[in-house]
Chains A and B, each alone.
Chain A
Amino acid sequence: MTPIGLRERVLGRWRWMAAEPGSASWYFKRDRLAVFSLIVLAILIMMAVLAPLITPYPEQGRGSPSIMDKLKPPSLEHPMGTDPLGRDLFARVLFGARTALIAGFSIQLISVLLGTALGAIAGYFGGIVDETIMRVTDVFLAFPPLLLAMTIAAVLKPSLVNSVIAISITWWPWYARIARAQAVSVRERDYVRAAVGIGVGDRMIIIRHILPNLMTPILIQATLDLGAAILTVSALSFVGLGVPPPTADWGAMISEGRIYIQNGRWWVPTFPGLALFITIMASNLLGDGIQVVANPQLRRGSQ
C-alpha cells in the first residue's frame, strides 16, 4: 500500500541527486575538519612507517640508551629534548607511533571481524543462536572495559600482542551489538527475502546480502573508536601492564616521565602526551566526518 519511501517520493525524479556517485565525497570535502584529520592521520602513518629514515637516532628510538645525553631540553639537535636514559624523544615518539598505530589498528581489525561475524549470525538466524551469542556478549559488556583488559593483561605476560588480545576481548562485543541490530533490520528487507525465495543458502545470504549492508555503521564506529583503542593501549602501558620496555610506547613514556614535570623537565611527558592527543582527536574528527557523509540527516550544517 505504501508507495516508494518518502525520500524517493520527495526527491521524485531527482533520486539520482542523492545517489550521485560524487555526492558523498562532495559532502566530505566540504567538511574541512574531517579532511584535515584524514591528512593528519595519513602523516602520522607515514611518519611511523618511515621512522628510521626520519630520525638520525633510530637505535635510540628502538630503545638503546645514551646516558650521557640524559634529560636535555629541546634544542635543534633534539627537537623534543631527551629522556632520562638520554634517548632522543622525537625518535621515541616516532617509534611510539608505530606501537600505537599497530596496536590500534590490530584491535579494531580483530574486534570488527569477530564482532561483526557474531553479530550478523545472531541477527540473521535469531532464536536460540541469537540468545546464546548475545548473552555471552552481555557478560563481556557487564565489566568496565579497561578493568577487564587490565585483568586479562595481568594474567597474560605483558607484551604488545597480549595487550592487543586483552583489549580486543573487551572490544568486540560493542561491534557485535551494532552488527546484530543492523542484521535484524536488513534480514527483513525485501532483497534478503528475495534471496531466501530463490533458495540461496544461509552462508551466501550472510556474505552477499547481510554483511555488505551492515558495514557502514560498523566502519563509522570503528573509526570513532580507533582513538579510544590507542588510548586504552597507552593506559595499559601507563600502569605497567602493556608494552614492556625498551619498546617505545606513549603511555609508558607519559607514565615514566610524569615525575619529571615537577623539576622543570616538562618535555619528557608532554611530547608523547601531545602525540597521543593529536592521534585521538584526528580519529574522532574523521569518524564524525564519515558519519555525516553516511547519514544525510546530519548534513544540515554543510548546506
Chain B
Amino acid sequence: MSGDTLIDIRGLTVEYKTSAGLLGSRSQRTRVLEDFSLQLERGATLGVVGESGCGKSTLANSMMRFVEPIAGQIFFEGRDILALDRRELRGQRRQMQIVFQNPFSSLNPRLRVKTIVAEPLITHLDLTPAQLEERIIELLSEVGLNEAFMRRFPHELSGGQAQRVALARAVALNPKLLILDEPTSALDVSVQAQIVNLLGKLQRDHQLTYLFISHSLALVQHISDYIAVLYLGEVVEYGRQADITRAPRHPYTRALFSSTPQPDPESGRERIILEGTVPSPKDPPGGCRFHTRCPQVMELCRHKKPKAHATEAGHWATCHLLDAELESLQGVDAS
C-alpha cells in the first residue's frame, strides 16, 4: 500500500465473553476477530463484505472503541487509538464518525432534527446560537434537506430522510474517517441509490475516507476502491475492486459472487451453492476456517492454515489452492 495510510490495524483480537450456567460458572470466550490486520488508504473507500458472524460489525465497534479489543493496535495517522485515555479519546472522536444501519434507531426519538445535528457542534465547538443555526442549515442542505426539517422529529421522516440526518450529524465536524455500517440495508432500492450517490458527493466534498461495511457484494463493488472479504473473523481476500471483480481468487469470494441474485434471468451463469452454514465463531474449525463449506476442499485444508498469497498489485487471498498454483508455476512437482 502507498505511503498515505490513514488507518493501520495490526493484530486486532476481540473476544466476547458469554456466560452460561448458574452464576455464570461456565464462562465462554468467543474470538470474533483474531490477529486481524487491515489498512485504509486516505481518501479511498474500503468495502468490507461478509456474512453474519464474520466480524464486520465488531471491526467497526472496535475502531469506535465501543468494544475494547484484548490485543492489537489501530493506528490513526500513526497514533494508536486503542492506547488513548478517555480525554484523548474524546478529542480523537472528532476525526472519525459512524453511521448505523437503521436510521430510526440511531436518532433519539425525543429530539428534533435541529438538536440532533447540533449535538456534535455543541460538544466540540464554541458557536453562538446564530452561528450554530447557520451551520445546521448548511449541513442539512449538504445532505439534500431544507431548513423546514429542523423542526421535525425522527418519526416524521422517511427512512431516506432519517439516514440523511444521520449523515449530516456524522460530517458536522469534518471528520477524516466515516465508518458506514450497512447504511443502506434498511432502505428501499430507489432510496438506497439516493444515499449511495450522496455518499459519493460527501466523499468528494470532504475528502473523506470510508470504511463501508455491507453484506451485499454488489453494493460494495459499486462503492469501493478496495475490497476486503471476511469469513469467520479473518480476511480471506483483499485487493483493488477491479481486480477482485475481474478475477476473484478465493473460493468463498467466488461463491459470494455467484450467490448474489442478478436481475437478469438470462445471465446463464453457473451457480456455486455452498452447503451448510457458517460455523459458530465459538468453535471455529481448525486449518482453513472455510474448509467445512469449500467446494474445492483438499485434505491439506483440514489441518493447515493457508498463508496469504499476494500478486504484485497487492491483491491477496488465503487459500491452499494458491499454494498449488505457485508450486506449479515454479515447476515443483506436488507429490
Contact = CB atoms under 8 A, between A and B. Distances in A.
> Within the complex, are A and B direct neighbours (CB within 8 Å)?
yes
A125 interface: no
A191 B66 contact: no
Contacts of A5: 102, 104-105
Contacts of A200: 119, 123
A190 B106 contact: yes
Interface in A109-133: none
Given A19-B155, A193-B66, A213-B110, A198 B93 contact: yes
Given A190-B102, A197-B64, A199-B90, A209 B108 contact: yes
Contact of B109 (A3, A196, A213): A213
Contact of A198 (B102, B119, B186): B119
A142 interface: no
A227 B130 CA distance: 48
B169 interface: yes
A208 B107 CA distance: 12
A81 B157 CA distance: 61
B139 interface: no
A6 interface: no
A213 B107 CA distance: 12
Interface in B80-138: 89-91, 93-94, 96-98, 100, 102, 104-111, 119-120, 123-124
A189 B215 CA distance: 21
Contact of A197 (B98, B110, B215): B98
Given A1-B215, A198-B93, A212-B110, A190 B100 contact: yes
Nearest to A3: B186
A194 B52 CA distance: 22
A212 B215 CA distance: 34
Contact of B107 (A3, A16, A191, A197): A191
A194 B94 CA distance: 12
Interface of chain A, main secondary structure: helix
A1 B52 contact: yes
A195 interface: yes
A8 interface: yes
A201 B120 CA distance: 11
Interface in B210-246: 215
Given A19-B156, A199-B124, A200-B119, A194 B100 contact: yes
Nearest to A211: B110
A12 B96 CA distance: 33
Interface in A204-253: 204, 208-209, 212-213
Given A1-B52, A199-B94, A199-B123, A190 B182 contact: no
A1 B51 CA distance: 9
Contacts of A4: 102, 104, 159, 186
A63 to B, nearest CB: 47
A190 B165 CA distance: 14
A15 B104 CA distance: 11
In this complex, the member of B94, B120, B124 whose beta carbon has the largest number of chain A beta carbons within 10 angstroms is B120
B185 interface: yes
A208 B111 contact: yes
B278 to A, nearest CB: 12
Interface in A13-40: 15-16, 19
Given A1-B215, A19-B155, A198 B106 contact: no
A212 B109 CA distance: 9
Contacts of B91: 199
A208 B122 CA distance: 13
Contact of A8 (B93, B104, B107, B120): B104
Interface of B: 52, 64, 66, 89-91, 93-94, 96-98, 100, 102, 104-111, 119-120, 123-124, 155-156, 159, 166, 169, 173, 182, 185-186, 215
25 contacts: A1-B182, A1-B215, A3-B185, A3-B186, A5-B104, A16-B156, A190-B100, A190-B102, A193-B66, A193-B98, A194-B166, A195-B108, A195-B119, A197-B96, A198-B119, A198-B124, A198-B169, A199-B89, A199-B91, A199-B93, A199-B94, A199-B120, A199-B124, A204-B123, A208-B111
Given A193-B106, A197-B96, A199-B94, 14 more contacts: A1-B215, A4-B159, A4-B186, A8-B104, A15-B155, A190-B105, A193-B98, A194-B100, A194-B106, A197-B98, A198-B169, A201-B90, A204-B123, A212-B110
Closest 8 CB pairs of A and B: A199-B93, A190-B106, A19-B155, A199-B90, A191-B108, A212-B110, A190-B100, A4-B186
